[in-house]
Structure 1
Amino acid sequence: MARILVVDDQHLIRSGIVALLRTVEGLGPVLEAADGEEAVAAAREHRPDLILMDISMPRLSGLAAAERILALGLDPAPRIVVLTTFDEDEFVYAALRAGCSGFLLKDMPPEQLIGAVRATLSADLLVAPARIRRLVQKHVADGPTHQRPAPPGTGATSLLTGREVEVLALVAQGLANEEIAEHLCVSDSTVKTHLHRLMAKLNLRSRAQAVVFAYETGVVRVGGQGGGSGPEGPI
């Protein structure tokens, strides 16, 4: 059963989400933390499978806390979903680049929140690759990539095998592991192995971060053409 950590400095919001998730059959313990510092300590102690993380908090922001948690090297690493009041591209993009699996709006209906939690636990990606592509395209258009912090693993694509580059490009196009396996005529387990190895080589912490990396480094070009050894064509 999945262990969930809810992090928000607003007690009413935090307690409401915790109470809701504790009513859901099939979920494990639902823990809570009041700020980023508490979140890091709770993650280290309790090793949650999923963390719902507010962005704006005292002492330590949600994004900074997410980066620290993912840097702990927990195995398996928790999936982190950002909680936000507004659907702002800057926050979403920063969260994905930090290694988060997606974002949720705090005013979403309870049933959608429950569905999103289940989806994240099973899929590790809560933002459609098309949305990530749009965010990358916007940020590339705003200025050269070197003006922003480089994503983990930048410059390390030479470490990848040709097949690993293919898998990365297909992930960026939004294909699930089963679809990648069918496309490459290999088994699901082989795809998982390639994905695990390429993410380890590039120090990537989530599938969403891998999609961002693929666009920012040209493995898949923003204009829709695959780079390197990856597939070409519109996404």
Structure 2
Amino acid sequence: MSARILMCCDKLIMCEGMRALLEQHDMQVTGETSVQRAVALAAEDPPEVIVVVSPVLTVDDRNELTALARLSKVLMLAKAENMHRAFEALRVGVRAVISVESSVEELIHVIRTLVEVDAIVVPVAARKSVEMMARSCCLPPAANTLTGRENEVLLLLAQGMANDEIAEKLSVSSATIRSHVHNVLHKLSVRSRAQAVAVAYETGLINTIEQKVTRR
């Protein structure tokens, strides 16, 4: 599977090394050490995935991550000590966060997942960390009006499933799932699936949904 990738990494040697690695897996890679030039390149000719390698950008660089996320699917390679902050990246539109210490196989798998489906990849460490300090007071009022089916859809989104996978699991059409996803985003007052998942975890909503689904 050929894919066009834009790599943003401020260490030239690392950038070239990762480019050579990805090209061995049938990917067309453009490496860039400047965030500004990466944004310009993505705006001119959007790649299928933008791979951002810390520390060129971290979860604190929200404006830059937002700009890139508006242009393509962003995969962030973060330092291990920052993995618990992955949901902060999701809030600005990043689609996947993995550790810079991940294996080559995991990196390739996540890139291909992003290329092939509209999925979200969240590290387990981040989920556990956020679940321990959920802030239920942050939920918008409309979140309480999520229907049973919308709750199921949000739960499956949080598990990284794409629309077609959710449709198959719930035995409904993809169009129906798209409608449910639209309603979920509206009720949670967010713009993207990634932001919806971030809000669900950060506020403890995901735990409430899991309990409701389990009792049914």
> Which TM-score tier does this pair reach, normalised by the shorter chain?
0.7 to 0.9
CA RMSD of aligned residues (A): 3.5
Q: Indicate yes or no: 2:81 matched with 1:80.
A: no
Q: Which string of whole-angstrom CA distances, capped at 9 and with x for unpartnered residues, describes residues 79-133 of structure 1?
A: 11111232533442322232222223334343332222112322422226x6554
Q: Indicate yes or no: 2:100 matched with 1:101.
A: no
> How far apart in 2 are the matches of 1:81 and 1:61?
15
Displacement of 1:178 in angstroms is 5.1
> How far apart in 2 are the matches of 1:173 and 1:159?
22
Contact 1:89–1:135 (CA under 8 A) maintained in structure 2: no
Give the letter aligned to residue 18 of structure 1: R
> How far apart in 2 are the matches of 1:133 and 1:109?
20
Q: How does 1:195-234 map to 2 (within 5 A)?
A: 195-196=181-182, 198-199=184-185, 202-205=189-192, 207-217=193-203, 219-221=205-207, 224-226=210-212, 231-233=213-215
> How far apart in 2 are the matches of 1:222 and 1:165?
10
Displacement of 1:168 in angstroms is 1.9
Pick from 170, 178, 182: which aligns with 1:192? 178
Q: Indicate yes or no: 2:54 matched with 1:67.
A: no
Q: Please state whether the residue corresponding to 1:127 is helix, strand or coil.
A: coil
Give the letter aligned to residue 94 of structure 1: E
Contact 2:62–2:89 (CA under 8 A) maintained in structure 1: yes
Unaligned residue ranges in structure 2 (runs of 5+): none
Q: Please state whether the residue corresponding to 2:7 is helix, strand or coil.
A: strand
Give the letter aligned to residue 204 of structure 1: R
Contact 1:6–1:30 (CA under 8 A) maintained in structure 2: yes
- Distance change (3 Å), C-alpha of 1:13 and 1:213: same
- TM-score normalised to the size of structure 2? 0.75
> How far apart in 2 are the matches of 1:79 and 1:98?
12
Q: How does 1:77-226 map to 2 (within 5 A)?
A: 78-123=72-117, 124-127=119-122, 132-140=126-134, 144=135, 154-157=140-143, 163-172=149-158, 177=163, 180-181=166-167, 184-196=170-182, 198-199=184-185, 202-205=189-192, 207-217=193-203, 219-221=205-207, 224-226=210-212
Contact 2:8–2:56 (CA under 8 A) maintained in structure 1: no
- The aligned residue for residue 52 of structure 1 is 51
Identical amino acids, percent of aligned pairs: 32
Of 9-18 and 158-167, the range deviating more from structure 2: 158-167
Displacement of 1:10 in angstroms is 0.7
Q: Which string of whole-angstrom CA distances, capped at 9 and with x for unpartnered residues, describes residues 213-233 of structure 1?
A: 22334543369424xxxx355
Displacement of 1:13 in angstroms is 1.0
Unaligned residue ranges in structure 1 (runs of 5+): none
Q: Please state whether the residue corresponding to 2:211 is helix, strand or coil.
A: coil
Q: Please state whether the residue corresponding to 1:103 is helix, strand or coil.
A: strand
Structure with greater proportional helix content = 2
- Distance change (3 Å), C-alpha of 1:217 and 1:119: same
- TM-score normalised to the size of structure 1? 0.70
- The aligned residue for residue 13 of structure 1 is 14
Give the letter aligned to residue 122 of structure 2: V
